[in-house]
Structure 1
Amino acid sequence: MTSRTRTAITTGDGVRIAYRFDGDENKPVLLLSNSIGTDLHMWDGQVPALTEHFRLLRYDARGHGASDVPSGPYSMDRLGRDAVELLDALGLRRVHVLGLSLGGVVAQWLGIHVPERVDRLVLSNTAAYLGPASQWDQPIAELLEAPDMRVTAEMFLKNWFPARMLRGDNEVVEGFRRTLLATRREGVAGSWAAVRDFDQRRTAALIQNPTLVIAGEHDTVTSADHGKELAATVPGARFTVLPTVHMANVEGQTEFLEAVVAFLAEGS
């Protein structure tokens, strides 16, 4: 069921982007795009159910996982073009796209700038804008001056999961903690800069692809209001709220998968 024709591509600016396929190559391709501080394994728990319907294409965004970690600020344009260059290198003309958090911003960018490459969009726990830009400068500077990722990792986990999942030794949470601690600060800081500088509140109205927006009722990173505003901006978008914090795919896996699969299946 798993096929790996290559392990990485190199972008036009010389950055290696790691990826993998899972599932039957005869099924529709679903591109999965990740949040900051994670790698392609953030979807591991959902792979068995999703590969019943799709061939999954997962990748590590620049600055994360097995991909290269260029220094300096990243831009949303560059992160979006990384995804396009991945599709180009793999000969994929058109795919479904599911993005969560930063991955949801990248998915918006694809719908805005290369709608011909996208079939249906799922934008989960994300927003069209997370400003003002000035609020990001100090966290970026502090992270780059920190000795390691420990403080930032705990902040992320607190924002991602409910308190009940953070108590004790939750195997899933521990996996995310290990990934965060192994992530280089430059990758997170560069991605925060992309979040700092993006604003798609107006351009999201250009998205014409069928779109589902998913929000977490208790999400403090990208609130349910952020999701509601995004869904109101994208023409014809559907909106659903799950009783979760930020990582809806993990905390509310059953409901999340039901919503995603039902929506994407409409395009079959």
Structure 2
Amino acid sequence: MTETRHFTAGDGCRIAYQLTGGADRPVLVLSNSIATSLHMWDGQVQTLSEAYRVLRYDFRGHGKSDTPAGAYSVDRLGRDVIELLDSLEIKQAHFCGLSMGGWVGQWLAVHAPDRIGRLILSNTAAYLGPPSNFDAQIRAVLAVKDMADTADQFMRNWFPASMLAGPNEIVDTFRAMVLATPPRGLAGCFAALRDCDLRRTIALIKAPTLVIGGIDDKVTLASHSEEIAATIPGARLVLLPGVHMLNVERPAEFLDAVTRFLTAA
């Protein structure tokens, strides 16, 4: 079993991470959705670590990382990754981010281009407005005493009705991750997404980029994936039949798209 370790970011926040695979392999960073932990990638790590040194981490406010007070920013979330790479003496890594992880990947490829090899952006967007929607979610999550309704809403947004119709181990695992997320951490990351608009700056991305979208995604629409792919020079686009968590809803197709892209000439 891979050990969970911590490093301390520049502002004193302790960030949890796991590193799997041989030290001689190229590094692949996997970055999570909001309201999940690094365990959202459990189903992909074994396969990916056969060819890569896989680095997973928990966003601040999530999993086993610290939960600082106040609003977070995509800038701070991106610098957490840079500082993590620095602490491990990793000069460059491939990066695969899903949902909020995709926002961080876009920011990194713009602001720290020398640190990113190949970039995979799954089920994400460059902007999700209006800000008032996130303000409402922040107020709601900070006011609740029980996260059960919040978790149910995430499940409806993340998975197809067929997976929600009866007992489902994957859904149960993801629901547990939402329930374990501190409301303050969730609110902090909602604020980061609220304040982030990368629609123009991602045109500066030079890293080879694959954009993966879900045809039936209810949160980051297929059109968001299409817009990102159209803006980043030379980006490739793959749309899969599925909703938001394509890595577990469509695991074979997702892994095939990722591995083909990472090994393409």
Offset, 1:48: 1.6
d(CA) in 1 for partners of 2:200 and 2:223? 16
Candidates 43, 52, 55, aligned match of 1:54: 52
CA deviation profile, 1:166-200 (whole Å, cap 9, x unmatched): 12221111111111111110111110000000000
1:28 and 2:8 equivalent?
A: no
Q: Paired residue for 2:144? A: 146
1:235 and 2:233 equivalent?
A: yes
Give the secondary structure class of the aligned counterpart of 2:68.
coil
Structure 1: runs of 5+ lacking an equivalent: none
Kindly report structure 1 stretches of 4+ aligned residues shifted beyond 2 Å.
none
- Which shifted more, 18-27 or 37-46? 18-27
> Is the contact made by 1:148 and 1:185 (CA closer than 8 Å) also made in structure 2?
no
Q: Paired residue for 1:70? A: 68
CA deviation profile, 1:95-153 (whole Å, cap 9, x unmatched): 00000000000000010000000000000000000012122111110110111211111
> Is the contact made by 1:3 and 1:23 (CA closer than 8 Å) also made in structure 2?
no
TM-score normalised per structure 2: 0.98
RMSD between aligned alpha carbons? Answer: 1.1
Q: Paired residue for 1:101? A: 99
Structure 2: runs of 5+ lacking an equivalent: none
Offset, 1:228: 0.1
Counterpart of 1:250, as a letter, is V
Q: Paired residue for 2:82? A: 84
- Which shifted more, 56-65 or 20-29? 20-29
> Is the contact made by 1:20 and 1:58 (CA closer than 8 Å) also made in structure 2?
yes
Q: Paired residue for 1:131? A: 129
Q: Paired residue for 2:210? A: 212
Q: Paired residue for 1:256? A: 254
d(CA) in 1 for partners of 2:228 and 2:28? 22
Give the secondary structure class of the aligned counterpart of 1:66.
coil
Offset, 1:3: 6.3
TM-score normalised per structure 1: 0.97
Identity of aligned residues (%): 57
> Is the contact made by 1:37 and 1:188 (CA closer than 8 Å) also made in structure 2?
yes
Candidates 109, 114, 122, aligned match of 1:116: 114
Between Structure 1 and Structure 2, how many residues are aligned? Answer: 265
Candidates 222, 225, 228, aligned match of 1:224: 222
Give the secondary structure class of the aligned counterpart of 2:135.
helix
Q: Paired residue for 1:245? A: 243
d(CA) in 1 for partners of 2:2 and 2:207? 28
